[in-house]
Chain A
Amino acid sequence: MLESNSIPILKLKEFLIVSIQTDLHDRMAEQLQYDILNRISETSAKGVLIDISALEMVDSFIGRTLADTAKMAATLDADIVIVGMNPAVAITLVELGLSLEGVYTALNLDEGYELLQKITTADGEDIQNPDSEDSVVEDMNEPGSD
């Protein structure tokens, strides 16, 4: 089901850029997940920057949806970097018991872009995977897939 207020996904070279500027309700978060994966598939994007600086809170549902999206994107050979989480959200997220395992994060769009460039050009070798136990990204990079 398409929401009329769906979140725009911009393409910039080989990356996608998403800025969440609205308070996400659950179905919107699920729709965004679907839209991002679809756009990765359509555009063969190598990476996605998701700006959450306008999010006033990240609860377990939004946190899980973001983490799941990163894992799903990895199976499509794309990396996701979440940028701009505000400190109050970070504190609350950890107290809530969520760690966003397996998700790359950066302080802002500039740093997120640089990180994404490093990850996608180094094929993940030089960059420490944020979730070493779950090496989805590396496992999917089979020889000959590029």
Chain B
Amino acid sequence: MNLVRIKEERDIVVARSAAKKIAQEMGFGLVDQTRISTAVSELARNIYLYAGQGEVHIEADCNPRSGLRITFTDQGPGIADIKLAMTDGWSSVKSMGKGLPGAARLSDHMEIQSELGKGTTVIIEKWLPE
């Protein structure tokens, strides 16, 4: 289990480097390592842009399949419309709107829980090839 606190912009780099290192140690191939670090970069940046600060937990998990589970939590404004936020190109701040839908495509599984005014939790999973 590895925890990276997102407080400033540079922490995005710390989070994605940590995720890549763990993915490498777990035996993920280079393309999957790159997918993982890119997804982490997008979601960690979302924390920084929308909530200002939050946490990224990176953990090896074997339920239901052996792989990596990464949890992004913040106490930010929350997402009003998750379906809309998952639309390519949609962004409520000045960004590309690739973050959530892009990270979903780079992952094997994604869950989003969000409550307005309370915060957001995004979980992504990447499984090792069987």
Q: Which residues of A contact B (CB under 8 A)?
A: 23-27, 56-61, 64, 87-89, 91-92, 95-98
Given contacts A26-B9, A91-B31, 6 further A-B contacts (CB under 8 A): A24-B13, A25-B9, A26-B12, A60-B102, A95-B35, A96-B102
Q: Which residue of A lies closest to B98 (CB)?
A: A60
Of B9, B34, B95, B101, which is within 8 A of A56 by CB? B34
Query: Helix, strand, loop or mixed for chain B's interface?
Result: helix
**A-B CB pair tally, cutoff 8 Å:** 69
Q: Which residues of B contact A92 (CB under 8 A)?
A: 31, 34-35, 38, 106
Count of interface residues, chain B, beta-carbon cutoff 8 Å: 26
Contacting pair A25 B38 (CB below 8 A): no
Contacting pair A25 B12 (CB below 8 A): yes
In this complex, the member of A27, A87, A96 whose beta carbon has the largest number of chain B beta carbons within 10 angstroms is A96
Query: Helix, strand, loop or mixed for chain A's interface?
Result: helix
CA distance A87 to B10 in the complex (A): 26
Q: Which residues of B contact A25 (CB under 8 A)?
A: 9-10, 12-13
In this complex, the member of A26, A58, A98 whose beta carbon has the largest number of chain B beta carbons within 10 angstroms is A26
CA distance A107 to B96 in the complex (A): 26
A96 with B106, Cβ < 8 A, contacts A27-B9, A59-B41, A88-B30 known: yes
Provide a sorted-by-A list of 18 A–B residue pairs whose CB atoms are within 8 angstroms. Answer: A23-B13, A25-B12, A25-B13, A57-B37, A58-B38, A59-B16, A59-B42, A60-B95, A61-B96, A88-B34, A91-B34, A92-B106, A95-B35, A95-B106, A96-B42, A97-B98, A97-B101, A97-B105
